[in-house]
């Protein structure tokens, strides 16, 4: 097992993957995007891939606007935002998993959850989001293959920078990439 795989396996549980990545040098953060972070992975996430993020109501969906909420990618700063690599999963599989996920979340909560659909963002676009830190441009996000035995399409978008103002700004940019891409189970947009 590589250092990268060991790191991701150790921090996959507990909700602190992104926070732990933020403690590493940028050189390591970026290098680990080019290798597999999971023994179950088909390969590292390439720039030309599309990533799907499931949208559940009420957590990530604003019924009044019919759009995902800006908080859709809030967990990029802590545990990493779970996504699926569209190349390795069909729309039907994504929708079925989303419905199952909503049912599981409802069973563990007093508030019912409903699966709405998924949004898509390009890995290259995610990786191109930057902010200025200490007077220099800095990449804000990393995209890592975090395949699971039961889901080889799994990947995480992790925020690599610290600082509240900068973090909010880059998450807003990430949200803008996803806005307008909602794919519902009936395939309406």
SS (H, E, C) 72-95: HHHHHHCCCEEEEEHHHCCHHHHH
Q: Looking at the domain assignment, is residue 187 inside a domain?
A: no
Q: Looking at the domain assignment, is residue 183 inside a domain?
A: no
Q: Looking at the domain assignment, is residue 142 inside a domain?
A: yes
Q: Looking at the domain assignment, is residue 105 inside a domain?
A: yes
Q: Looking at the domain assignment, is residue 18 inside a domain?
A: yes
Q: Looking at the domain assignment, is residue 186 inside a domain?
A: no
pLDDT of res. 187: 62
- What are the tens digits of pLDDT across the range 82-96? 999 999 999 999 999
- What are the tens digits of pLDDT across the range 93-142? 999 999 999 999 999 989 999 999 999 999 999 999 999 888 888 999 99
pLDDT of res. 56: 95
Q: Looking at the domain assignment, is residue 189 inside a domain?
A: no
* Residue 31 domain boundaries: 3-178
- What are the tens digits of pLDDT across the range 27-58? 999 999 999 999 999 999 999 999 999 999 99
Q: With a cut of 60, say whether residue 189 has pLDDT above it.
A: no
pLDDT of res. 35: 95
Burial 135-169 (b: 16+ CB within 10 A, else e): eeeebbbbbbbbbeeebbbbbbbbbbbeeeebbeb
Query: What percent of the chain stands above pLDDT 70?
Result: 98
- What are the tens digits of pLDDT across the range 146-179? 999 999 999 999 999 988 888 889 999 999 999 9
Q: Looking at the domain assignment, is residue 126 inside a domain?
A: yes
Name the domain count of the chain.
1
Statement: the pTM of the whole predicted model exceeds 0.85? yes
Does residue 159 have a cis bond before it (omega within 30 degrees)? Answer: no
């Amino acid at each position: 097992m590589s250092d990268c795989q060991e790191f991701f396996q150790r921090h996959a549980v507990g909700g602190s993957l992104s926070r732990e990545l933020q403690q590493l040098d940028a050189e390591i953060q970026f290098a680990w995007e080019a290798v597999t972070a999971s023994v179950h992975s088909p390969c590292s996430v390439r720039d030309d891939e599309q990533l799907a993020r499931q949208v559940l109501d009420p957590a990530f969906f604003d019924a009044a606007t019919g759009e995902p909420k800006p908080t859709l990618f809030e967990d990029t700063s802590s545990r990493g935002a779970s996504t699926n690599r569209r190349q390795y999963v069909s729309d039907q599989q994504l929708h079925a998993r989303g419905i199952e996920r909503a049912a599981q979340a409802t069973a563990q909560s007093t508030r019912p959850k409903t699966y709405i659909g998924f949004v898509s963002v390009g890995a290259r676009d995610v990786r191109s989001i930057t902010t200025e830190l200490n007077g220099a441009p800095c990449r804000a996000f990393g995209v890592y293959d975090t395949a699971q035995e039961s889901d080889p399409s799994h990947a995480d978008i992790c925020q690599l920078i610290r600082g509240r103002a900068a973090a909010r700004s880059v998450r807003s940019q990430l949200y803008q990439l996803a806005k307008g891409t909602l794919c519902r189970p009936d395939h309406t947009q």
